Amino acid sequence: MLDLCITNCKMNIGAEEVCLGIEDGKIFSIKKLPTAASETIDVQGMLVLPGLIDAHVHFRDPGLTVKEDFFTGSAAAAAGGYTTVLDMPNTIPPTNTPQAIMRKRSIALSKSLVDFGLHVGVVDPSHVRELAKYSPASFKIFMDLVDHDFLTEAFRKISDVDGNHLISIHAEDPQLVKQCTQKMKMEGSSPELYAMARPPLAETEAVKNAISLAKQFNQRIHFCHVSTPKSLKLIIQAKNNGLDVTGEITPHHLFLDSSYLKSYGNLAKTNPPLRDREHRLVVKNLPNIDIIGTDHAPHTIKEKNNDVWNAPPGVPGLETILPLMLTQLNKGKISLRDIKRLLCERPAKIFNIPKKGLIAEGMDADLVVVDLKKENIIDPDKFHSKAKYSPFKGFRVQGMPIMTLVRGNLVMENGEILKNQGKFVYQNTLSIENE
């Protein structure tokens, strides 16, 4: 007798219904008829997807928990259909030392409702080899905060470490950002100016630079939040030239443009900024994009109410992207294949997350059940995240996650968050306290 059998699942639109047998957190069987189990869940012909994977979240734990923490962030993830998240290193202290990594992992093990990995920051390239022992999802480099000499040395050191480690890159040229920001500050403090303070050229120049270094050191790189067609073209060219380069887009760069800075002000402020219609990416670009990462970056409303030059950049995204994508599916603008690739399969492959991203025998039983007919209006007041704001406020959507399971454990049902203990997704040979 199995632990759980989920009956009447549709794996694809129009497909015959199947039953998923689950044992010890893994998918044990996929059959037409149900298998005897201690528990049965009947999803009544609803669509079942692999649990979503977000390779780009900021859960603010430790040090900035007034904005978010691993419990509220993972609750938002589960509510949005996510079963695995990879957390970024810019916390207090930053996740760039063995002690900081161990501390954050211990916090996440005690709080997280979903499975997780940790990106690691690079403050001293000479420490990279030691940090690699802690199984980072990637080494994260913010190009807008470092000079070329540092960047080159970081690439050199990371490429020398065994294991083919990935570099995740925030691509904005620091000199262009500095010059343009100084110029725009002289123009005033309206939110619309922010889009010009970090122009498309700052991104494309940084992308060129990083690709050049990737070629020089034969290094895998992943570009976070790609926001312009020219940047995407450079990434495509690099791939065609045989380089191991990937790129992500955020929900806000995919569905919004810089006009939202006028209507939503700092609530739509993010780095890189929203682009105007001439310089933005849209749904038709998705075939050339590897993954969607939400860049879930919550802040307090009080912080966001500062003037544009002092308000922090970032928006929450975990609870909005799947409904937005399902709406596009219902409109016929994307396929179910696109959703699985962008939100499940490619994130698992790029970031080497074992046993996740697919519904198949032997894989983790990470699942999200969706109701393609359910309609909703995005209301940030109902978010599980501490960040009760969104530039998507008021958007009408059709298609909602109604159930999320992490390794066969029911974590979300009809918006209600249930108990679960998330696990660290990477194998590590070091002894980890409390794991």
Residue 100 corresponds to which tokens in the numbers above? Answer: 């900081």
Residue labelled with tokens 């790189």? 221
First CA to last CA distance, the chain: 29
The alpha-carbon radius of gyration of the chain (Å, integer) is 21
Closest alpha carbon to 85 in 9, 137, 8, 157:
137
| Residue 295 among the catalytic residues | yes
The torsion angle over the Cα atoms of residues 397, 339, 353 and 53, rounded to 10 degrees, is 0
List 173, 257, 295, 338, catalytic entry: 295
**Amino acid residing at 40:** T
Distance (Å, whole) CA 322 – CA 389 = 17
Q: What are phi and psi of 377, to 5 degrees?
A: -115, 125
Q: Peptide bond preceding 93: is omega within 30 degrees of 0, i.e. cis?
A: yes
How many Å apart are CA 411 and CA 418, to the nearest integer?
5
For residue 75, give Cα distances in angstroms to 278, 291, 324, 365. Answer: 36, 22, 19, 18
CB 85 within 8 A of CB 114: yes
Residue 427 has which token pair?
A: 């194998």
Hey, how many other C-beta atoms are within 10 angstroms of the C-beta on 398? Answer: 17
Determine the 3-state secondary structure of 392 from DSSP: coil
Q: Could you tell me the sign of the dihedral formed by the alpha carbons of 106, 112, 113, 119, in that order?
A: negative
Taking the C-alpha atoms of residue 137 and residue 427, their distance in angstroms, rounded to an integer, is 11
Distance CA(30)–CA(363), nearest Å, equals 11
Structure tokens at 419: 């108990």
Nearest to 312 by CA among 183, 194, 176, 186: 194
Residue 129: alpha-carbon gap to chain centroid? 26
Active-site residue set: 295
